[in-house]
Amino acid sequence: MNFPAEIKVNIDGNIADALSTLDQPQGPVQKRLIWFAEDLQEISDGRLLLDSGVIVRFRSGDTPDDLTVKLRPCTEAQLVGQFSSRFDRESFEYKIEQDWSGSRRVLAASATRTRPQGALLYAVAPGANAAASLDDRQQHFLQKCAPTVHITELAALGPISSTKFNNVPLDDLEVDLERWSVADLDFLELSIRVKPKDDEKADQFEARAKHKQKKLESAVRDLGVVISENPENKTRRVLTTLAASYR
């Protein structure tokens, strides 16, 4: 099956200069705080949920709050029953996407529940059990698609400051820009999404997505902005830094 591809380019040099070079957009800005939930006992033993391919993320800010449970990387064979294809139900979205960054390509599946603004802040407060906020569908998603991962008590690590600009023109592309800042880390991610066309074969879609990836990377480099060569994605780098303070 063809799944949409989110194609990313990461920049971790001087972000202010990069934004200036990219003609920092003057349109609407979306500001949010982000937390990732982890088991503190596992952290003390040198392990992360992320090592099992599981991400639990909270976001709160200018838009409605949301809580996402994500499997990344995952395999299509893991995604069984109702979780074998995307669906939307009353403030709940389940989607499957390819995640492309450089030569790295993985499959990701995410179950997201939207809540009113500020409704999840209690779940990320010190001493709160963040796992208690997972709803029944998210728990069912983990039970069916990641049965070896057992979540009972989690603590929220963060917050990470996020600033996002949507649909920014770059050559003939529309790009989302998102900046993450926490501790001494500062990242800028540029991303585009490529959706399969009706009756498009897998090799045709892959060739089209590769072409879009090359266009995005070339457009960034043509402006003199250096693309990060760090092999670790920004989620792992942030979680590694945040977890270090609990060890």
Nearest to 35 by CA among 199, 238, 196: 238
Nearest to 124 by CA among 203, 61, 200, 78: 61
Q: Mean pLDDT over all residues of the chain?
A: 93
| Site of tokens 């070079």 | 21
DSSP code at position 124:
G
How many Cα atoms within 13 Å fall on the side-chain side of residue 168? 24
| Count of helices and strands (H, E) across the chain | 5, 10
pLDDT above 90 for 25: no
Nearest to 240 by CA among 10, 48, 99, 9: 48
pLDDT at 75: 97
pLDDT above 70 for 27: no
Q: Please, what's the largest Cα pairwise distance for the chain?
A: 51
92-101 and 5-11 as β-strands: parallel, antiparallel, unpaired?
A: parallel
DSSP code at position 186:
E
pLDDT above 90 for 23: no
Q: Which domains, and CATH codes, for the chain?
A: 5-244 (2.40.320.10)
The distance from CA 93 to its chain's CA centroid, rounded to whole angstroms, is: 14
Task: Give the pLDDT band of residue 26 (cuts 50, 70, 90).
Answer: low
Decide if 96 contacts 79 (C-beta within 8 A). yes
User: Residues 104-130: pLDDT tens digits?
Assistant: 999 999 999 999 999 999 999 999 999
Decide if 63 contacts 56 (C-beta within 8 A). no
